Structure 1
């Protein structure tokens, strides 16, 4: 996208109207709020739905398999963002990508809400994976579009947007978790579908007035001849893929175990290919190539961070259900409620962190140093959760306070890394790959969960201490290495701070 187009887009957006920020932030904030409500509500009960017995309303899947599927699900959700980013960059722009994605997500939750067989579960997975791939990276990309490149409100704007994500994530497990766990899983999934419907309404009825041209202009559009070629290849690839899947399933080659392994490989291979393609593209300038080099260690740190943080919905969810004393101060705690701790702490602490960065100004830590702090806290959160098991033994139920403390520590890391990473991605992205680079940022989460799918199967009560200690220790070591390398990385950023 040319600088002229960028300027034209920003000028079309009312620059005041939402807490001193562009008015379009209202639309994006509440669209993402409802999308995250639907996603995190579904996710809060999904692992339990998978491994609970059929007599309890679940699917009766083996626990370790359910944990691996949960990680693969999360990986594919973020991996599909590459397709969503490419479609937005090259064909129909980010705004339509957000709308189409919301529709698919809503139908995915409706499929989960229909009582039936495991086949409906896999149908919902496909719809939600594709839908989130269209919506998630592109709604974040539009946030960057509504600000001038040098606007010092940009980082604070992303922090406010991040609050929308976490308000949705806070409320969803309390509402959907309560209904799903204590009444009926399918009714809980229905509430998630209604949440996405509200998000679509907000987007449809406010985007024209609040967003102007933001999201409507593909930054690197295909020509008409290129479109014909691409659509032909997409169609042919879909047919071939369907045939391969049908044959391999019938022959017993494609099983859940082999699929988990395949996604694990793709989780590492796809971002690697993407870095190479962007770096070698003739549309990438010399300065942009230097920034891509700087982005690589940040990406690796992000993968390690999310590998720990995302286990909050797998290993720690299982820990809450099986290892935690859920009777506390006379109340019975639903294990799904622990999923609200992460967004709760973010909502409480995000304004403090945002204010701290503003107050520090030019004295605040550089982007690489913030990433190293994020990684350090992630490692410490796993060190915290290994303590009660070590003290009490593998059979005893532990106090829920330990889980609360673990979630709190990892949130300290998330606030150092995640909103900073979103903002840094928009700054470091090559112009011709703007939406796709945001998809690449979410691929760090995809890679993390693809790795998790391989390692969660090693978690047992007997290996609990070793599991948490090894992963936490590796994260702390990488944090130290990144901190030492941070001046060199900053130099490759070519002026971006």
Structure 2
């Protein structure tokens, strides 16, 4: 028997240290091997195999586009919370630290929320190639707005543009990579070889993600903190512009099947999507209005509205799926299991999102950043996640392969991920305690915390993507994948709520409470792993 791989559409990367959680984890299915053939047939296929040993010529194009897009995304993200919290005299917006961290959280939530309509546009209206072009143009426009001294309103507009563009571009690039290999697939070809080439191609592709995410904070962070915040945002705009130009100039390397526009949206489907988007906007508007009537500021109202949206949308998704006719008992049981997986993932991302916001502010104020007599930028710590991801991803892949059937179950991996996250957060609690006297602590605290956190993410994030494809009923495959990324959105939005506790708790107490909560959640998942496995009905 040989394995053939059925491709699932990738979505934007949640909690990406280097887009870790956006990796494609195909689902294998058994097909009979083609073991027959004679000498003449072998001679006919030998040249084909030599040609197919090389990757499609469009892979380098997509690698470059994704690398520069991630450069722009993570470059802006690395300095965003620092810019929001910097005083107006230093060129920032002067927001309180907890408000700056809250804005950072809801921005991450918005990126994942807008991937839902963005993915629909790419699938049903624009096609992947045009979605990448339009998405890249919108992202570039957003970064250009941020590169100008346009104040709070302009910053909000720029962030919305970047989030909307990312929602169109990010799912489409990953889909196009799979399309390169689909376009070369021929009847009777060696499926095992094709699967291996596809996996190797995605490994190369996601290396570009990690490279861009690693390099971005080093460049935009230096420009933003040492020259001007808007110079850092301008570097992010330049990165996306380079990626957009590569897409325009090298698009001829892509096969026609990948570049072809689509027009599969039916009038009823279009009305349904417009109705869903209109309903979400109306709900957010009502929530914003009520919040402001209760005396909250506009910024607080937006944060509350987006947070409620990230809670209501998954509830609607799950309710619609459970009420759908025709689901057999196995599918319903697996959906119930996925509810618990969703909640555990949201808990994970709620705490993990602190790495780009509160931990960055902690590093600015309480970490000794001297290096040979020179103080390096705070945002450089944001390169640790992608660096660790590059170093650890291969090791974890080899570990799971070698363990085979002896590797931990899905519930056990989730428990390990939450436990690791709790330990990493407790490391930060120790750093907060060491800095309680007003001094600066060693950067080793952050190096250790990020290392443990990325190890935890390696346990939970790829597992969550994989189990999402395996638990999903056939008719709800895309909805379940959307729910996985909605868990990232919910986590980011909830993080914008809990950061308010920093106004009443010290750093040490805040991180200690979060770390303890993660450990308790890990214990609950571990204790319930037998029941969860029973609900999953044969999915390990």
Equivalent residue in structure 1 for 2:497, among 444, 451, 454: 454
Equivalent residue in structure 2 for 1:368, among 411, 415, 420: 411
Aligned position for 1:223: 266
Q: CA deviation at 1:350?
A: 1.2
Would the alpha carbon gap of residues 162 and 383 (structure 1) be closer, same or farther in structure 2, given more than 3 Å must change?
farther
Aligned position for 1:3: none
Structure 2 CA distance for aligned equivalents of residues 246 and 470 of structure 1: 30
CA contact (8 A) 2:143 2:234 kept: yes
Aligned position for 2:40: none
Q: CA deviation at 1:173?
A: 0.2
Aligned position for 2:219: 175
Would the alpha carbon gap of residues 496 and 209 (structure 1) be closer, same or farther in structure 2, given more than 3 Å must change?
farther
Aligned position for 1:415: 458
Structure 2 CA distance for aligned equivalents of residues 492 and 155 of structure 1: 30
Q: TM-score, normalised by structure 1?
A: 0.84
Aligned position for 1:128: 162
CA RMSD of aligned residues (A): 3.8
Deviations, residues 330-364 of structure 1 (Å, cap 9, x unaligned): 33121010011111111111111122222223332
Would the alpha carbon gap of residues 16 and 295 (structure 1) be closer, same or farther in structure 2, given more than 3 Å must change?
farther
Aligned position for 1:193: 237
Is 1:79–2:123 an aligned residue pair? Answer: no
- Aligned runs of 1:365-444 on 2, under 5 Å? 365-444=408-487
Structure 1 CA distance for aligned equivalents of residues 411 and 372 of structure 2: 42
Would the alpha carbon gap of residues 422 and 23 (structure 1) be closer, same or farther in structure 2, given more than 3 Å must change?
farther
Q: CA deviation at 1:379?
A: 0.7
User: Would you identify which runs of 4 or more consecutive aligned residues in structure 1 move more than 6 Å?
Assistant: 14-24, 147-152, 154-157, 215-219, 234-254, 283-286
Q: CA deviation at 1:188?
A: 1.1
Structure 2 CA distance for aligned equivalents of residues 235 and 420 of structure 1: 30
SS of the residue 2:426 aligns to: helix
| Greater shift in the superposed pair: 144-153 or 429-438 | 144-153
- Aligned runs of 1:121-270 on 2, under 5 Å? 121-140=155-174, 153=196, 161-204=205-248, 209-210=253-254, 213=257, 221-227=264-270, 229-230=271-272, 233=275, 255-270=298-313
Structure 1 CA distance for aligned equivalents of residues 299 and 516 of structure 2: 30
Equivalent residues, number: 486
Structure 2 CA distance for aligned equivalents of residues 16 and 72 of structure 1: 49
Equivalent residue in structure 1 for 2:379, among 317, 331, 336: 336
Would the alpha carbon gap of residues 362 and 239 (structure 1) be closer, same or farther in structure 2, given more than 3 Å must change?
closer
Aligned position for 2:342: 299
CA contact (8 A) 1:15 1:22 kept: no
Structure 2 CA distance for aligned equivalents of residues 358 and 439 of structure 1: 27
Q: CA deviation at 1:405?
A: 0.7
| Greater shift in the superposed pair: 453-462 or 423-432 | 423-432
SS of the residue 1:58 aligns to: coil
Structure 2 CA distance for aligned equivalents of residues 243 and 388 of structure 1: 40
Is 1:43–2:110 an aligned residue pair? Answer: no
Gaps of 5+ in 2: 1-5, 10-25, 27-47, 186-190
Would the alpha carbon gap of residues 242 and 403 (structure 1) be closer, same or farther in structure 2, given more than 3 Å must change?
closer
SS of the residue 1:459 aligns to: helix
Aligned position for 2:143: 109
Q: CA deviation at 1:482?
A: 2.0
Aligned position for 2:19: none
Give the greater-gyration-radius structure (CA): 2
Structure 1 CA distance for aligned equivalents of residues 432 and 446 of structure 2: 12
